[in-house]
Amino acid sequence: MDNTVTMEKIVSLAKRRGFVFQSSEIYGGQAGAWDYGPAGIELKNRIQRFWWKEMTQLHDDIVGLDAAILMHPRVWEASGHVENFTDPLVDCKKCKQRFRADQIDPEKLEKKECPECGGELTDTRKFNLMFKTNIGPVDDGTGLIYLRPETAQGIYVNYKNIAQSNRMKLPFGIAQVGKAFRNEIVTKNFIFRTCEFEQMEMQYFVKPGQDETWFDYWRDQRWKYYEKLGVRMDKLRWHRHGPGELAHYAKDAYDIEYEFPMGWKELEGVHNRSDYDLSRHQQFSGKDLQYIDQDDGNARYVPYIIETSAGLTRQLLMVLCDAYEDQKVADKGNEDDWRTVLHFHPELAPVTVAVLPLMKKDGLAELAQDIRKDLKEDFPTDYDQGGAIGRRYRRQDEIGTPFCVTIDYQSKEDGTVTVRYRDSMEQVRVPRAELAARIRADIKAYKRA
Ligand code: ATP
């Protein structure tokens, strides 16, 4: 064992402990798609909830939405996706591998030389990333419909509905979490880039001229979010898009990048989208999408949009990589003992409290079950009575359970239990009656070591 974090270790733990499985594995797997197992879905739900709380509960001017995946095909013409949502694609004539031209060394691309085998590359051609399907009984092209490649458009087309039904005044935001689909040419690095994934997007509508101030505000907010999430901030950095990198809608764009085991990669984008989106929808739908500003003499204008766009499944990968540690521990006097531990924020961990009777016999198992019943209402719990206690702690460490509660003979006598902390492996005795309050206080006070 050593303490480096590699994608191989992450993928292997994810499978072994039920976080993420390959889609359709028994058929050899489906590229670009992954399934979230019992631990994975708990983690994913909690990351989503953390983000949702941050956006809607902690910001008074943001409301939520859940729009359909299937949208009118004109949406994607208006948004620019039909025309512009393409990747440049090249194939190697010899080894048949496919590449994104923008990810190949420009010199090799110029010489049309395959980066893998040196064979000859085809000309670069544009490849649209949207999945097409058909709605209705006849498949003759008239029922063409797309699987949405981003959740943002569902927000834009509902902007007026929400402004009116909820009497929203500018500036205000709309948050949404949901699936998105992209026919990615290269899907590698596990769940980092997939064809089916989930996004957490927030679109903030502002008065033109105030967009730059709000853009700065949201960059600051998003940075602070990751601090709260308890990840290592020295692994995050900003990347500003240069003129050649800016998307067709963007006035200014920054990415938050994380240093994954395979290098620095985009985690989330914060974009100033100008009035591009609503102007285009106004033009294509023929509907008036202007805002009437009662605080400014009923002035009419198309709002600017500041977007924060994060991948939920990509954030899950980040959280896994960030939490992962192979740690040398000498807690049992054995110098060469190692444990794999996930240092999740306690609010993200799939299990918050594991209840472990020291022995199955002498009424300890029954007492432990009874204590678990107490805790269940407040926390996601687990119960494990199999094997040596040290081994059981290790199993919980591997899925990132922050608190283990051990019931022993003393518990029967004086009503105290032992709380064992994941990160420090420290153990303290706590009266049973104070257990839930203690855990709640520890969660609140949590700081990444
Ligand atoms: P790239 O240029 O890397 O293909 P992008 O810049 O087009 O991606 P956005 O459209 O800005 O990505 O998407 C916003 C966020 O959605 C990304 O920061 C990422 O977290 C997530 N995301 C985008 N594409 C994928 C994907 N194929 N798989 C998983 N997450 C994705």
Which pLDDT tens digit goes with each residue over 350-406?
999 999 999 999 999 999 999 999 999 999 999 999 999 999 999 999 999 999 999
Specify the CATH number for the domain of residue 13: 3.30.930.10
Q: List the Cα angle 185/189/192 in 5-degree steps.
A: 80
Nearest CA to ligand 1 atom 24: 193
Q: How does DSSP classify residue 218?
A: H
Q: Distance from the CA of 192 to the center of ligand 1, in angstroms? A: 9
Percent of the chain whose pLDDT exceeds 70: 99
Ligand 1 atom at minimum distance from 315 CA: 20
Domain contains 79:
no
Helices 312-323 and 7-16: crossing angle, nearest 10°? 100
- The bridge status of strand 34-36 relative to strand 252-260 is unpaired
Residue 120 to residues 109, 373, 427, 444, Cα–Cα distance (Å): 10, 66, 63, 58
| Res 335: pLDDT | 64
Nearest CA to ligand 1 atom 22: 311
Ligand 1 atom at minimum distance from 184 CA: 27
Same-domain check for residues 297 and 351: no
Same-domain check for residues 440 and 359: yes
CB-based burial of residue 114 (10 Å sphere; 0-12 exposed, 13-18 middle, 19+ buried)? buried
Domain contains 229:
yes
| Res 239: pLDDT | 97
Same-domain check for residues 52 and 181: yes
Q: What is the mean pLDDT of residues 271-275?
A: 97
C-alpha torsion sign, points 163, 247, 255, 341:
positive
For 299-346, what is each residue's pLDDT tens digit? 999 999 999 999 999 999 999 999 999 999 876 666 678 999 999 999
Among residues 269, 287, 319, the one where a domain terminates is 319
Domain contains 428:
yes
| Res 129: pLDDT | 95
Pocket test for ligand 1, best of 129, 151, 176, 197 (most atoms within 8 A of CB): 197
The rounded distance, in Å, linking the Cα atoms of 183 and 172 is 32
| Res 420: pLDDT | 98
Same-domain check for residues 343 and 312: no
pLDDT, mean over the chain: 95
| Res 409: pLDDT | 96
Same-domain check for residues 238 and 178: yes
Domain contains 106:
no
Same-domain check for residues 189 and 57: yes
Domain contains 53:
yes
Domain contains 233:
yes
Same-domain check for residues 182 and 314: yes
Query: Where residue 245 falls among pLDDT bands split at 50, 70, 90?
Result: confident
Ligand 1 atom at minimum distance from 182 CA: 27
Residue count of the chain, please give it.
449
Pocket test for ligand 1, best of 195, 314, 319 (most atoms within 8 A of CB): 314
Specify the CATH number for the domain of residue 341: 3.40.50.800
Query: Where residue 39 falls among pLDDT bands split at 50, 70, 90?
Result: very high
| Res 246: pLDDT | 87
Percent of the chain whose pLDDT exceeds 90: 90
Same-domain check for residues 166 and 36: yes
Q: Distance from the CA of 267 to the center of ligand 1, in angstroms? A: 8
Same-domain check for residues 350 and 432: yes
Same-domain check for residues 197 and 289: yes
Ligand 1-lining residues (CB < 6 angstroms): 150, 182, 184, 193-194, 197, 199, 266-269, 309-311, 313-314
Q: Does the structure show a pLDDT above 70 at 437?
A: yes
Ligand 1 atom at minimum distance from 150 CA: 10
Domain contains 143:
no
Same-domain check for residues 346 and 315: no
| Res 187: pLDDT | 85
Q: Distance from the CA of 182 to the center of ligand 1, in angstroms? A: 9
Q: Distance from the CA of 311 to the center of ligand 1, in angstroms? A: 7
Among residues 319, 346, 370, the one where a domain terminates is 319
| Res 434: pLDDT | 96
Block residue for tokens 């023929």? 286
For 157-196, what is each residue's pLDDT tens digit? 999 999 999 999 999 999 999 999 999 988 889 999 999 9
The DSSP secondary structure of 140-182, one letter per residue, reads SSTTEEEB-S-SHHHHHTTHHHHHHHTT--SSEEEEEEEEEE-
Among residues 319, 344, 368, the one where a domain terminates is 319
What total of structural domains would you count in the chain?
2
Q: Report yes or no: 253 and 247 within 8 Å, Cβ to Cβ.
A: yes
Query: In terms of residue numbers, what domain contains 365?
Result: 335-444
Domain contains 96:
no
Same-domain check for residues 386 and 249: no
Q: How does DSSP classify residue 247?
A: -
Whole-prediction pTM: 0.95
Q: Distance from the CA of 256 to the center of ligand 1, in angstroms? A: 12
| Res 334: pLDDT | 66
Q: What is the mean pLDDT of residues 279-285?
A: 98
